[in-house]
Amino acid sequence: MEFLPDDLQKYVEDHSEPESDLLQQINRETHLHVLKPRMLSGHLQGRVLSMLSHMIRPKNILEIGTYTGYAALCMAEGMQADGRLITIDNNDELALRTKEYFDQSAWADQIDLRVGNALEVIPTLKEKWDLVFIDADKENYANYFDLVINSVNTGGFIIADNVLWSGKVFDKSKNDKDTEAIRAFNQKTHTDRRVQNVLFPIRDGLMILRKL
């Protein structure tokens, strides 16, 4: 997932805004106690999400795939004072831990954690989104895009994580379901005239989509 050499990665992080105490706690405890800690957004990507959120100034944020809440808290940093962030995850075992992190934050009353199947939860939501972050099961990336695109405000953004998929997307020998799904999503959004797109080679790849 990391495409930068370790020494360059350290230099970049050392010259980026530091993590808050709470984000450092989440980072540390996720690596100590939670399966697949590589799923955590981490310092650099988290600061990128925070910066983008500050630039967008979203009122309504949707996150698909919560994990331990790191990315949600980063995006909440740029949210409007009366904003709301809804985050969906199907892992009920992590929900209690994640909710405790949210409750320690400045946005405890503004973050709404929904436990369930995002394909079923999203159609029940009536909000118009300024920012959507997709970081869940890769096979459904295209489905998530289709479910949210009409509810994203003009000028709003969709950000999808892991779109380089550890380099597998450009390795023709890799044809597993997740890799094929990410390739299909990248091509789908690249040719969709409803959005402007740029793929940032940050960590495992961020696809940034702006609704036209």
User: By three-state DSSP, how is residue 58 classified?
Assistant: coil
pLDDT class of 3 with cuts at 50, 70, 90: confident
Mean pLDDT of 29-34: 96
| List of residues 6+ apart from 107 with CB closer than 8 A | 73, 76, 79, 85
Cα–Cα distance for residue pair 130/162, rounded to 1 Å: 21
pLDDT at 122: 98
pTM over 0.95: yes
Q: In this structure, which CATH number among 3.40.50.2300, 3.40.50.150, 3.30.2350.10, 2.60.15.10 belongs to the domain 6-211? A: 3.40.50.150
Mean pLDDT of 78-91: 98
pLDDT class of 4 with cuts at 50, 70, 90: confident
Residue-wise pLDDT tens digits, 108-143: 999 999 999 999 999 999 999 999 999 999 999 999
Q: What is the 8-class DSSP label of residue 41?
A: -
Mean pLDDT of 74-80: 98
Residue 2 has pLDDT above 90, yes or no: no
Beta strands in the chain (DSSP E): 60-64, 84-89, 111-115, 129-134, 152-161, 195-200, 206-211
Mean pLDDT of 22-41: 96
Residue 179 has pLDDT above 80, yes or no: yes
Cα–Cα distance for residue pair 117/55, rounded to 1 Å: 30
pLDDT at 202: 94
Residue-wise pLDDT tens digits, 153-178: 999 999 999 999 999 999 999 999 99
CB 123 within 8 A of CB 146: no
CB 179 within 8 A of CB 169: yes
Structural element, H or E, at residue 14? helix 6-14
- Nearest CA to 157 out of 184, 124, 196 is that of 196
